[in-house]
């Protein structure tokens, strides 16, 4: 009798042609529409699966995998993987993978789009114009801060941070400072024309601070009221990493009180919910977690996730060697 084909669950719609490649080896249960799965529903899906392709929407922890006795691989579509309890997966011998590299440049582009929108008040101006408030050109309408020649601060200098640094240094003539737990090799620093500084110096000296570090209990609310108080009142803050890095109530207060010029947020602590205080402010750019959302990059991410799952389940040309495994929850870099 033929051996039963492994079963895989794909939690959200990706690209049909890319997900369709799984049919060659597996019985595929692929979501047909965007779904907010409850933890119990995730657990039920995993109970029947040998492998899964999941997104940041699905938390996969000890609770979700308790009954998943067949589960051998979880392929996350995304570079950040704070939705996975990697230690719990590792303890069960379940391979976890993510999608680094393929989204680096696209996400760095978006960070710059947000930074510039915050600095030059792009969305604020658009809203004002659409409200019919533009009566006549005037000299002091919507004065913002310069980007070129200013100081760019990067908190979290992984691959995306380095992409942002290169854009700032070589595209806009910015002085680039960064803070990371560990200093990068000098060769990488000079490629990005970036200098390591301590966290307080980064806060004090940045005209435009961008957050690109992984979220974990250790980085929860790394930008809180004390950190915001150290920033220049003319500075901008851009977050393209994870919402939990920022104390949103403290940020809203700082923006409302003129303690900070403006902010741009692509990620939120309780997304898709956005704090009403932030929604009410004009000096904050808000986008719905679309940092890597170019068509080409989203296709590359889906392709890599599928390649990872196929290989982790011992099929295809890379059988047993998934291209981008996650190794160690606390040490992996974005």
> Which region among 75-83, 155-163, 255-263, 268-276 touches ligand GLV (by CB under 6 A)?
75-83
Q: How far, rounded to the nearest angstrom, does the alpha carbon of residue 257 sit from its chain's CA centroid? A: 28
Minimum separation from the CB atom of position 179 to ligand GLV (A): 20
State which residue, 79 or 312, has the beta carbon closest to ligand GLV.
79
Active site residue 242: yes
Active site residue 208: no
- Give the footprint of ligand GLV on residues 32-61 (CB under 6 A): 56
- Give the footprint of ligand GLV on residues 167-226 (CB under 6 A): none
Minimum separation from the CB atom of position 56 to ligand GLV (A): 6
80 binds ligand GLV (CB under 6 A): yes
Angstrom distance (rounded) from CA 178 to CA 180: 7
> Which region among 9-17, 76-84, 204-212, 215-223 touches ligand GLV (by CB under 6 A)?
76-84
Minimum separation from the CB atom of position 291 to ligand GLV (A): 6
Given 242, 298, 315, 334, which residue is catalytic?
A: 242
State which residue, 6 or 80, has the beta carbon closest to ligand GLV.
80
SS3 of the chain: the string is: CCCCCCEEEECCCCCHHHHHHHHHCCEEEECCCCCCCCHHHHHHHHHCCCEEEECCCCCECHHHHCCCCCCCEEEECCCCCCCECHHHHHHCCCEEECCCCCCHHHHHHHHHHHHHHHHCCHHHHHHHHHCCCCCCCCCCCCCCCCCCCCEEEEECCCHHHHHHHHHHHHHHCCEEEEECCCCCCHHHHHHHCEEECCHHHHHHHCCEEEECCCCCHHHCCCECHHHHHHCCCCCEEEECCCHHHECHHHHHHHHHCCCCCEEEECCCCCCCCCCHHHHCCCCEEECCCCCCCCHHHHHHHHHHHHHHHHHHCCCCCCCCCCCCECCCCCCCCC
- Fill in the per-residue mask, 97 to 116: x = in contact with ligand GLV (CB under 6 A), - = not in contact: ------x-------------
144 binds ligand GLV (CB under 6 A): no
State which residue, 57 or 225, has the beta carbon closest to ligand GLV.
57
- Fill in the per-residue mask, 289 to 328: x = in contact with ligand GLV (CB under 6 A), - = not in contact: --xx------------------------------------
Contacts of 83 (CB under 8 A, 6+ apart): 54, 55, 56, 57, 58, 59, 60, 76
Q: Which of 78, 158, 168, 316 binds ligand GLV (CB under 6 A)?
A: 78
Size of the site for ligand GLV (CB under 6 A): 7
- Fill in the per-residue mask, 252 to 291: x = in contact with ligand GLV (CB under 6 A), - = not in contact: ---------------------------------------x
79 binds ligand GLV (CB under 6 A): yes
Minimum separation from the CB atom of position 103 to ligand GLV (A): 6
Minimum separation from the CB atom of position 111 to ligand GLV (A): 12
Q: Are 267 and 241 in contact (CB under 8 A)?
A: yes
The residues that are catalytic are 242, 271, 289
**Residue numbers of the site for ligand GLV (CB under 6 A)?**
56, 78-80, 103, 291-292
């Amino acid at each position: 009798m033929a051996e039963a084909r492994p079963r895989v669950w794909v939690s959200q719609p990706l690209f049909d042609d890319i997900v369709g490649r799984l049919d060659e080896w597996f019985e595929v249960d692929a979501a047909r529409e965007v779904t907010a799965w409850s933890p119990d529903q995730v657990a039920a899906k995993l109970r029947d699966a040998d492998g899964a392709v999941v997104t940041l929407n699905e938390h996969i922890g000890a609770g979700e995998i308790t009954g998943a006795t067949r589960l051998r691989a979880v392929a996350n579509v995304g570079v950040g993987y704070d939705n996975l309890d990697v230690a719990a997966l590792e303890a069960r011998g379940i391979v976890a993978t993510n999608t680094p590299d393929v989204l680096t440049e696209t996400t760095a582009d978006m960070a710059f789009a947000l930074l510039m929108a915050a600095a030059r008040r792009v969305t604020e101006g658009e809203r004002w114009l659409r409200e019919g408030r533009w009566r006549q050109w005037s000299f002091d309408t919507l004065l913002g801060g310069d980007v070129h020649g200013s100081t760019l601060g990067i908190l979290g200098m992984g691959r995306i941070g380095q992409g942002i640094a290169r854009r700032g240094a070589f595209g806009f003539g910015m002085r680039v400072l960064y803070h990371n737990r560990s200093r990068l090799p000098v060769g990488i620093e000079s490629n990005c024309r970036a200098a390591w500084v301590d966290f307080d110096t980064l806060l004090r000296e940045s005209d435009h601070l961008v957050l690109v570090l992984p979220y974990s209990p250790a980085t929860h609310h790394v930008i809180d009221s004390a950190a915001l108080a150290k920033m220049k009142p003319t500075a901008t803050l851009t977050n393209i990493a994870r919402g939990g890095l920022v104390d949103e109530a403290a940020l809203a207060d700082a923006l409302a009180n003129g303690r900070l010029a403006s902010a741009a947020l692509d990620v939120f602590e309780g997304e898709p919910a956005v704090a009403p205080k932030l929604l009410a402010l004009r000096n904050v750019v808000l986008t719905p977690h679309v940092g890597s959302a170019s068509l080409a990059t989203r296709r590359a991410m889906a392709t890599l996730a599928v390649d990872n799952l196929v290989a982790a389940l011992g099929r295809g040309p890379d059988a047993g060697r998934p291209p981008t495994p996650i190794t160690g929850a606390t040490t992996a870099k974005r």
